[in-house]
Amino acid sequence: MTVLRLADEGEAADLAAFLSRLLHYDRAAAVRLQAAPGGAGDGGVLAVFGRPPSFEVLAIRTARLAEPARLDTTVSAGELLDGLAEPAGTLAVPAAVTGPPWAGVLPPQGGWRRVPGLPAPDALGRMLAASVAEFRARDAELSPERRTRTERDRIGREIWSRTVGDTHLPLRAVHAAQSLGFLRPVRAAVGAAGAGRLPEPYTLLAAGGWLRFRTPHGSIAVRSGGLQGLSVTPT
């Protein structure tokens, strides 16, 4: 069994939180792992890709490694979480599983360019809150016989397919980022115990038919034409 050593306990805790949120949406979730050595004196980075079924997106969480490793496999998210020892900062990689179709179609590793047009973080937060409130209000207005999954998904598609600011990024990508904990404040700086800093400005990147909404805690990638199996009921 391959055992990876993460850079520190904080990396392990953040990865555990990400896996737990994926499992909240799908107890049978699978994740694809990719790791490659970094430069001299750099342990490299582990990238973890997941697809929460409530969103038509790919979620990407990276973790810094203390030691170089080379890895590309798809595993059970639950078994991976079980193999994560936070205090020790180690990650036991379970046996590979047959990957779902999305695991074979990942965003490109390079060639990303910055795309302008995202609203400021506070404006983005207000937009997201207003959209959640709109969904709940329209859902509450449905008569009992019309409150079906099909009708609720229709309303959700209308709301979450709206684009953000002056970009082509669908609002569902921002909703997914919030639901997976990617929009929370970054850790407090040294010397400011207990106080979180505001997130760094979010970045929108584009490459090869993909858009990537990058935050300090992870990224959400969406592909032109979308992914199959969308469910858009907020939870």
Give SS3 for 11: helix
Instruction: Give the pLDDT of residue 186.
Output: 57
Give SS3 for 9: helix
Instruction: Give the pLDDT of residue 194.
Output: 40
In the sheet that holds 84-85, the strands lie side by side as 2-5, 90-93, 84-85
Instruction: Give the pLDDT of residue 189.
Output: 40
Q: What gap in Å lies between CA 152 and CA 14, rounded to an integer? A: 32
Q: What is the pLDDT along the chain (235 residues), one digit of tens a residue?
A: 899 999 988 899 999 999 999 999 999 999 999 998 876 667 899 999 999 988 889 999 999 999 989 999 999 999 999 999 988 899 999 999 998 999 999 999 899 999 999 999 889 999 999 999 999 999 999 999 998 989 999 999 999 999 999 999 999 999 999 999 998 765 544 444 444 444 457 999 999 999 999 999 999 999 975 544 333 334 3
Q: Which two tokens stand for residue 209?
A: 């038919």
Are the CB atoms for 92 and 83 separated by under 8 Å?
A: yes
Instruction: Give the pLDDT of residue 225.
Output: 59
Single-letter amino acid code for the residue at 159: I
